[in-house]
Amino acid sequence: MADKIITGIPVSSGIVIGKAVFVNRSHRSVLPRHTVSADMVEAEKGRLENAFLVAGQEMESIRDKVPGELEQHRLILDSHLMMLRDPKLMGRAKEHIQTLRVNAEWALEKAVSELAQAFLGFDDVYLKERFQDVRQVADRVQTHLLGTVRDLTTIGGRAIIMAHDLTPADTVEIDVSRILGFATTRGGKTSHTGIMARTLGIPALVGVQELENSVTDGDLVVIDGIKGRIVVNPDEEELFEYNTLASRFEEYQKKIIRRCLLPAETSDGFRVKVLANIELLEEVTAVIDNGGEGIGLYRTEYSYLNRTDLPTEDELAEKYVDLASIMSPRKVVFRTLDLGSDKNITEFGQLDEANPAMGLRAIRFCLKHPELFKVQLRAILRASVYGNVSLMFPMISGLRELRRAKARLKEAQLELSRRGVPYNPDMPVGIMVELPSAVMIAELLAREVDFFSIGTNDLIQYSMGIDRTNPNVSYLYQPLHPAILRSIKQVVDAAHQAGIEVSLCGEVASDPFCVPILMGMQIDCISLSPQAIPGIKRIIRQTRMGECRQLLRDVISQQTVGRINRMVKDSIFKKYPEELMFFASLLDSEELPG
């Protein structure tokens, strides 16, 4: 029996077995604090400046040596370099040295902790996790203040890295011929380090809370990037089991990747488009490599975060044109800004609202700030000349709101026309259906747009009246609840009656228990994370439309979510046991077959 089994968040699938090697770049737990005399204040500030300077030079050097397979992630390193050169973080730390008379390490830590309060105040998980970028930049500076730099390139043998944190720059330095995988205490599902691990194809876990107390240098460990486990010093029987599972996973991956470029078509001829949800330009390679037929949801908020000013129209247009041209002729759907309330940007300050999730956000925020909105609309229109660009408005609640948004789009078109800037006047325009009010009047909204995209994450949240990140009520986040299934079907039916396409871009699109039901509803497109595409395509290709329609008829007439869950799981476990073995991140580990 293993010494211990600990759990974390799987961010890159696969299973590896090897010796643990600890890398602790931050050493924050032993940060020294001491008072500096008045005549030493300037010298301490100089030490801080030098640490920022050396960290910046180091980042530049790493960025310039980015290997080919990670070329698309160079922008992440650029953003960290920009943070290192942004005078605000260093300036705030210098203020603490001056006013508190403390050493540079402690002053920097205090400045970072102040930023943490702002980031952790966000309700949005993605935005919360962006604090990790600030943390990682500060840690790089701390290593130079403390003189604790350890170079990943010096690690020998076939090792598994254990660390409090790994930055994207650390990940760039990983030699995949010697480093089998990694696990970190910090990090979340959308961390850049996780994205890069998937690109490198090495198993990785983040957010492993007991890591540093449970594993020591030299331990034999299994990183299970499927079930999110680290097995410390497994016995012979466990080693045999994990070696067998690793082989099965590799065979499965080869099988689904080999066929991921085939269309998502059922064995009796029903075709579904499978698109990708992304927020970073550098994810485009993963979309294409995994068989994505386009981008069904490009989250545009990222260009507005981690900065103190607003992006210009030219800056946005350059990025949007790059995306449209790289993906052409594949479709790209831009979701206009989903900012406001819990996703504030510095320029507009923190809104004081009692219920931020129901406050001034998304399309409401954009209509309140028309000049900001039109800058983005003009940039998207400029990218539309490639002919593959669509635009959709988030969180539309009714006709008046939709018509006001379309009026702003018309104004943006006229402004470009007056400047002689080309754009596609027939660019498709759609809406996110994610509010119960939009579901109830879907047939009216469908007459005014070119497509619908159902955002199930928010639709479930608002329909069930729960904050899905609140552990006290998150159990009510139930995609198979009768109300949710009926809502999705009502939207699909309304779209088809109006002759427009309907897509679904929430997490439900990558849930193997839900996809056959969506097929039964004859959904036109699903949009999901790039890495989930091959597996979901394989499920679709093994499905018969007749079976999906029957499953839909069976579940839509049920009265309770418990009954539907049992019915669906019995059916899906029986039909796709191999797929479910490797969709662990969607399942409770106790539910896994085998």
- Mind telling me the catalytic residues? 192, 505
The residue type at 155 = I
Under a CB-based contact definition with an 8 Å cutoff, are residues 300 and 335 in contact?
yes
Q: Which residue has the tokens 């269309």?
A: 263
Q: Which residue has the tokens 């080919």?
A: 68
The residue type at 271 = R
Give me 477's structure tokens: 């986040």
DSSP string, 113-174: HHHHHHHHT-S-HHHHHTHHHHHHHHHHHHHHHHT----GGG--SSEEEEES---HHHHHT-
* Beta pairing, strands 501-504 & 525-528: parallel
Give me 434's structure tokens: 């994610």
503 SS3 class: strand
Under a CB-based contact definition with an 8 Å cutoff, are residues 416 and 381 in contact?
yes
Residue 136 to residue 347: CA distance in whole angstroms? 24
Cα distances from 180 to residues 5, 197, 379, in angstroms, run 19, 11, 42
Residue 560 to residue 371: CA distance in whole angstroms? 47
Long-range contacts of range 343-350, CB-CB < 8 Å, 24 or more positions apart? 343/122, 343/124, 343/127, 343/301, 345/304, 345/305, 345/307, 345/310, 346/307, 346/308, 346/309, 347/308, 347/309, 347/310, 350/118, 350/121
Spatial neighbors of 382 by CB under 8 A, at least 6 apart, are 313, 317, 320, 321, 416, 421, 422, 423
Per DSSP, the chain holds a count of helices (H) and strands (E) of: 24, 17
Under a CB-based contact definition with an 8 Å cutoff, are residues 276 and 331 in contact?
no
**Beta-ladder partners of 504:** 454, 526
* Sign of the four-CA dihedral 445, 451, 457, 460: positive
Closest CA to 171 of 189, 156, 185, 191: 191
